[in-house]
Amino acid sequence: MDTVHITDVAPRDGLQNQKIAVSTDAKLHLIELLAAAGVRSVEATSFVSPKAVPQMADAAELVPRVRAVLPQLRTSVLVPNLKGLERAFAAGAEEIAVVLSATETMNRKNINMGLEQATEVSEQTLHEAHRLGLRTRAYVAVAFDCPFEGETPVSEVTRLTERMLAAGAGEIVIADTIGSASPGQVRDRLGALRERVPLDQLAVHFHDTRGMGVANAWAALEAGVRRFDASVGGIGGCPFAPGAAGNLATEDLVLMAERSGLSTGISLDSLLDAVAYAETLLQRSLGGRSSAWLRMQRAKREQEQAALATA
Ligand code: HMG
Ligand code: MG
């Protein structure tokens, strides 16, 4: 069966912008629940300035704990520069992701560098990561629209993708940072990109601001992409991109893929346990578009099983 590879980014993208502080123990437990549901790849945290993103200040403590408890789990971490890479390597990270935005202003707001400097720093970080023997991903953020500069030219997205690929990025992650893309745009942009990037190195990262997340994921599947980021419960958003809402929910993506005959290796029932746990952590109701229905189905099955057991 055709397989969809999902990286759950909830521990990083989902938690980086929350008002409620989440402990390292709780982050580890969330990651354990994801792994128990069959998730094989997570973005666990980011090695960024703790002043810029206080929620990720415990990255150096979290990574060795995840690696010790879940050695089989593919665990990536976001790093914005060489200092982040150095910290990630010291903590035992095996995979890093650099974050390059496709516009001048978004880079300045996010990582305090202009586009050219951000490109060069990302290249240097990828080279150094290879030297250290780490796997690498490169985000190309605001790949559809920038909250500051409007529609991002396709030519910029392809140019920066090629630079990241030439610098050795193992995976290019095309990111719709503010969730403004439509399926037609996804089809067109991925159509241009797959001429340049081998499909098994191309991933997508959708935010679901306008309810287009699943439709965009379908357009990406139709374009041949099989690598997706998603976030359990749909939590997420970049603190430096105004208007960014949560990510495409992992449960929505899994339901859509499995119902379309694609295998994810992820149990929806068990994923609901991770959603419920995230709700207790963040003290509000969470979940993708499908969560209410999924919960109802599970409750119905549990009732039927209980009735059978007492019959
Ligand atoms: P800066 O202030 O320009 O950095 O920040 P600097 O090089 O001038 O250094 C200032 C201080 O920060 C120094 O410390 C450095 O050592 C320290 P001091 O001397 O003042 O004590 N520093 C660091 N500390 C820890 N880790 C580091 C690091 N680098 C420097 N890596 C910087 C530049 C990039 C650090 C800052 O702007 C930053 O951390 N930004 C955070 C960016 C971020 O996390 N954004 C959210 C994630 S991206 C995202 O969500 C989008 C994505 O999901 C895809 C999508 O949806 O599009 C990936
Ligand atoms: Mg994101």
Catalytic residue among 98, 238, 253, 275: 238
Query: Does residue 301 have its Cβ closer than 6 Å to ligand 1?
Result: no
The answer to whether residues 54 and 18 touch, using CB atoms and an 8 Å cutoff, is: no
Angle at Cα 165 formed by Cα 229 and Cα 252, nearest 5°?
10
What are the pLDDT digits (tens) for 188-225?
A: 999 999 999 999 999 999 999 999 999 999 999 999 99
pLDDT bin (cut points 50, 70, 90) of residue 243 is: confident
Cα–Cα nearest to 92, from 28, 25, 44: 44
Architecture of the CATH domain 5-310? Alpha-Beta Barrel (3.20)
What are the pLDDT digits (tens) for 23-39?
A: 999 999 999 999 999 99
Distance CA 113, CA 117 (A): 6
Q: Give the number of other CB atoms < 10 A from CB of residue 302.
A: 11
Q: At what angle do helices 250-259 and 268-282 cross, to 10 degrees?
A: 170
Cα–Cα nearest to 252, from 270, 223, 232, 228: 232
Q: Strand 171-176 relative to strand 202-206: parallel, antiparallel, unpaired?
A: parallel
Ligand 1, from 48, 63, 139: best to mutate by most atoms within 8 Å of Cβ?
Answer: 48
